[in-house]
Amino acid sequence: MNQLPTYLDYASTTPLDSRVLEAMIPIFLENYGNANSTTHLFGERAAMAVKESRQIIADAIQAQPEEIHFTSGATEAINLVLKGAFKSYGHQKPHIITSQTEHKAVLDTCAYLEEIGAEVTYLTVNSDGLIDLNELASSFRNDTLMVSIMAANNETGVLQDVQRIGEICKSKKVLFFSDATQAFGKIPIQVLEQSIDLLCFSAHKIYGPKGIGGLYVKKGIKLTPQIHGGGHEFGLRSGTLNVPGIVGMAKAIQLCLDELKETSVHLEKIRNEFEKEMEGAGKIKVNGKHAPRLPHFSNFQLLKEDSDAFLLRNRNKIAVAKGSACNSALIQPSHVLKAMGLSDQDAENSIRVTYGTMTEINPQHNNILKSF
Ligand SMILES: *Cc1c(COP(=O)(O)O)cnc(C)c1O
């Protein structure tokens, strides 16, 4: 086995774009100062790099630079939003609305908050994975603090109607947080236009480095910090800034947005051809097929083969996911697919294929088809 399998698990993480690496190298080797040590040129240069990166990321989502806060990734950002808002406002408004198909970072944090007094409503989804906006509207209470609904699902790629959800939350004067970790850099996100108050993202899902992410917090919202010490990031998140990571993330989002249209069109074509051919041959049934989806996602039930047998047979050919990576340590059928109405067995027999830029550079589409 000399040749690596074809990577088709871009939703779990992406390789680093070499242009991102190039942007990061001088920060490691030359401008390695602490961005808070501005008594000398090293620190000043680091601070300048952070400032420029913050501006790029803010511009990418229609935010102001001081509304962007860097964290170690989306999981930390999600913890900061939910716990930080509950700590600040939960004594008066302990009610949170979320959905059954959120990422575990949201669901596990909500479960923790329930232990310390929060009340959480988990919206159901239809068979295509979409929440019901009427159910959302009727779930609001006088003490509702926040609605936490993801932009794109990490298992199916299904896109919720963020714009409408934002409008509803705005009319109810309730905070709207969207976990946009999968959507960021893949579809346009405009926090003002879409009435989003809080939004998280992560670099390693968009060809940036692992261990860096961030949070948009609309001016005026007071989250209680979850990490203390030094008051970095406008007092919200202490700790020496990951300058190479920040610079890499800014470069990554810039590249994604520059190439967004081209990449989406290409990957959607590959995805649609794959699904058409496989469904035509009666080999798969696509999950979330009738909902709007991210263009590079395909999640489907295998109809003619057991998923474990499939994975074993193709282990050296293609790298795909069963359920989500975050759940795969647990032997449990996907909570997302079950919420969409799949039986344990159908959820168990589902596979996630996610395409990416390497699929584009090096089309191995025929190889992929032959694996099924
Ligand atoms: C990957 C992912 C996360 C977690 O992000 P990390 O930066 O790896 O902590 C959260 N939510 C969604 C939707 C994701 O896809």
CB 215 within 8 A of CB 251: no
Q: Where are the domains of the chain?
A: 6-16+259-369, 18-258
Q: In the chain, which stretches have pLDDT less than 50?
A: none
> How does pLDDT run across 108-157, given as a tens digit for each residue?
999 999 999 999 999 999 999 999 999 999 999 999 999 999 999 999 99
> How does pLDDT run across 59-79, given as a tens digit for each residue?
999 999 999 999 999 999 999
Residue 115 has what pLDDT?
98
Residue 2 has what pLDDT?
63
For residue 245, how many other CB atoms are within 10 A of its CB?
Answer: 24
CB 249 within 8 A of CB 203: yes
CATH architecture for segment(s) 18-258: 3-Layer(aba) Sandwich (3.40)
Q: Is 133 left (phi over 0), alpha (psi -120 to 50) or beta?
A: alpha
Residue 156 has what pLDDT?
98
Residues 6+ apart with CB under 8 A from 91: none
Residues 6+ apart with CB under 8 A from 345: 333
Domain 6-16+259-369 matches domain 18-258 at the CATH topology level: no
Distance of CA 318 to the CA centre of its chain: 23
CB 184 within 8 A of CB 253: yes
Atom of ligand 1 nearest to the CA of 105: 10
For residue 222, how many other CB atoms are within 10 A of its CB?
Answer: 11
- CA of residue 281 to ligand 1 center, whole Å: 34
Atom of ligand 1 nearest to the CA of 72: 7
Is 326 designated active site? yes
For the segment(s) 6-16+259-369, the CATH number from 3.90.1150.10, 3.20.170.30, 3.30.1490.100, 3.40.50.880 is 3.90.1150.10
- CA of residue 199 to ligand 1 center, whole Å: 12
Residue 328 has what pLDDT?
57
**In the structure encoding, which two tokens stand for residue 219, read together?**
């001016």
